[in-house]
Amino acid sequence: MNASKAILEMLKHYEVEHVFGLPGETTLPLYKEWLDYPEIKHVMARDERSAAFMADGYAKFSNKPGICEAPSVGSTHVLPGVAEAYKGSLPMIMITSDIPLHLEKRNMLTGLDQTSMFSGITKETFTVTNPVQIPDTFRRAFRVATTGKPGPVHIRLPYDVLQADAEYSELYAQKDFARYPGHRPVAQTDKIIEALKLLGEAERPVIVCGQGALYSQAWDEVIMLAELFAAPVGTTINGKGSMPERHPLSLGVIGARGGTSLSNKVLCEADVVFFIGSSTDSAGTDNWTVPPMDGSAKIIHLDISESEVGNSYRTEVVLLGDAKATLQWMLELAEEKKRDFNELPRVKQLSEMKKKHDDYVADLMKTNEHPIHPVRFIKELDEALPEYRCLVMDVGTSAIYTSTFYKVPEAGRSMAYNFAMGSLGYALPTSIGASFACPNSCIAALVGDGSFGLAAAELETAARVGHNNNIIVVNNGSFGWIRAEWKLSYGDEYVDFATNFRDVNYVKIAEGFGLKAFSVSKPEDLAPVLHQAFNDPEPTFTELVLQPEDKLVPPVPTWIRKAEKQGIRYVK
């Protein structure tokens, strides 16, 4: 069998339905055989970085590893997406073609040492030098990507190998690893009992869920555990969705990206903190001050990764295992307590605090300020979105206001952020991947105008593939996040340095790519435009003019402290 056909047979056995990439000369032998495999849809991107981000979106919303491919010349372009997947523990298989390896040192066009380039940002990188390696290599790739701490795997396929023939006796898949988590190890029982004892003795326990809780699909168990111990639940920005945010015990997002004074205060006052699937990174802990590293809270940490569990905080109990499987066993071992947690004084106090903050937010949502107040936009966005929805956000305004003020109605994966690396150019292509994972959902992609510049060509991809994908570009005419950092940390004289764009007609750009396009600068136009866009089965584009970060400081704890001292408006 031809090697390229063997690769497609392996993808077929692993029930791969979508591969994101774009053509190059070194990959043509694979593409030639692809025509015989219509069940594996190739989604052509306009940039290799975008193909990796499309695979990111597909993986997050499908619970299957994202598959992307690139030719040798594009292998350098995929690095931002692969690095995000690596730091964000996202299961991805990155396939690159290459020149014949014996020509690499003779300076053949597009050849370079891909193995060295990918080795620092993947769980493993493989180079196939003989076509008979293909079945074993792909089985190992799926197994490695979906088990333990998930992550990207790289497979390098030289052009001459792709064309070679070989006999294959083992073209089969290990179906356990076609989805993630591939397997679910459970933490030690004695350690679980220690954790239960701490939670049972705690007066102010708090649970913090990171993205690992979403990867493990552990939200049902998180809710049951929270109710059992009357423990409020906060999430990191990447873990948003691990707890329904209308639940009485939900704190919303905590930390530096989406955390409020209320949620961070409750966490800092905890006597026991139970981290679930959290890397305890700088964003989720506001540089390790939420909770404080020198505080008195006892820490329990459950994580699949031996490198992350107990990594940042002095930890009383380490639970090394899958979140869902370990929490299920924890709930079985726990002594059931029949009580109404809503009647407990601490929960009542939390409810009163949340109501006070909700009243503050409700006033902001009514404002008719021009340009549009970001919190007013969140209200209109929530009300316009249909029941089945997926949101994808760029870093900056899009991420901060949705993480803080948009309340996830049900637990589960309905939002995607990239706060592992935080690369620009993320939301637009990621939304395309999400639209293939959730074809019956309305997709809303909130894109910064700075980020848009890195991925604008994918408007053509969005128009070509269709789906109810709605791209909303937040136009503040600058790298707004950097302007705000300049202003708050260095003063007004710096804000215009390397930040500003000239005026851009975004509507014409979108229309030129074949999209139905709108522009909204008045709050009264938000509802009709968003309803029209979200109810259109075809992709749409909306330019949205919001108040910029340097004029209205978003809810970032360190920024708010500076804004208070400098007398600048802020949202808390």
The full DSSP string for 158-202 is: EHHHHH-B---S-----GGGSSSSS------HHHHHHHHHHHHH-
Q: Does some domain include residue 359?
A: no
Whether residue 409 sits in one domain with residue 318: no
Domain end, chosen from 126, 146, 177, is at 177
* DSSP states along 266-314: HHHT-SEEEEES----HHHHTTTBTTBTTSS-EEEEEES-TTTTTSSS-
Cis-peptide, bond into residue 181, ω within 30° of zero: yes
Domain end, chosen from 152, 177, 202, is at 177
What integer is the mean pLDDT of 279-299?
Answer: 95
CA distances from 146 to 60, 89, 149, 369 (A): 12, 10, 8, 47
pLDDT at residue 338 is higher than 80: no
Q: Does some domain include residue 360?
A: no
Whether residue 388 sits in one domain with residue 483: yes
Give the pLDDT score at 339. Answer: 67
Q: Which two tokens stand for residue 112?
A: 């370079």
Give pLDDT tens digits for 368-424: 999 999 999 999 999 999 999 999 999 999 999 999 999 999 999 999 999 999 999
Whether residue 29 sits in one domain with residue 140: yes
Whether residue 241 sits in one domain with residue 168: no
What integer is the mean pLDDT of 110-125?
Answer: 96
Domain end, chosen from 111, 144, 177, is at 177
Q: 127: pLDDT confidence band, cut at 50, 70 and 90?
A: very high
pLDDT at residue 219 is higher than 70: yes
pLDDT at residue 462 is higher than 80: yes
Give pLDDT tens digits for 463-485: 999 999 999 999 999 999 999 99
What integer is the mean pLDDT of 442-455?
Answer: 97
- Rounded to whole angstroms, the Cα distance separating 22 from 47 reads 7
Q: Structural domain tally of the chain?
A: 3
Whether residue 148 sits in one domain with residue 243: no
* Residue 410, φ and ψ in degrees, nearest 5: -135, 150
How does the average pLDDT of the chain come out, rounded? 96
* DSSP states along 308-353: TTTSSS--SEEEES-HHHHHHHHHHHSPP----GGGSHHHHHHHHH
Quick count: other Cβ atoms within 10 Å of Cβ 446?
27
Enter the pTM of the model: 0.96
Whether residue 468 sits in one domain with residue 504: yes
Q: Does some domain include residue 408?
A: yes
Cis-peptide, bond into residue 555, ω within 30° of zero: no
Q: Does some domain include residue 103?
A: yes
Whether residue 62 sits in one domain with residue 103: yes
Whether residue 171 sits in one domain with residue 195: no
Which of 43-47, 198-202, 334-338 comes out lowest in average pLDDT? Answer: 334-338
Q: Does some domain include residue 64?
A: yes
Whether residue 168 sits in one domain with residue 78: yes
Q: Does some domain include residue 425?
A: yes
pLDDT at residue 279 is higher than 90: yes
Of 127, 31, 6, which Cα lies nearest the Cα of 75? 127
Q: Does some domain include residue 496?
A: yes
What integer is the mean pLDDT of 111-121?
Answer: 96
Q: What is the CATH number of the domain that holds 79?
A: 3.40.50.970
Whether residue 374 sits in one domain with residue 503: yes
Cβ pair 195, 36 in contact under 8 A: no
pLDDT at residue 119 is higher than 70: yes
Q: What is the CATH number of the domain that holds 256?
A: 3.40.50.1220
Share of residues in the chain with pLDDT > 90 (%): 96
- Rounded to whole angstroms, the Cα distance separating 399 from 109 reads 40
Give the pLDDT score at 342. Answer: 83
Q: Tell me, letter by letter, the H, E, C secondary structure of 81-128.
A: HHHHHHHCCCCEEEEEEECCHHHHHHCCCCCCCHHHHHHCCCCEEEEC
What integer is the mean pLDDT of 105-133?
Answer: 95
Whether residue 418 sits in one domain with residue 456: yes
Residue 168 lies in domain:
3-177
- Helices marked H in 230-274 — which ranges? 261-268
Whether residue 305 sits in one domain with residue 374: no
Q: Does some domain include residue 183?
A: no
Give pLDDT tens digits for 220-242: 999 999 999 999 999 999 999 99
Instruction: Classify residue 40 by its DSSP letter.
Output: S
Cis-peptide, bond into residue 371, ω within 30° of zero: yes
Single-letter amino acid code for the residue at 316: E
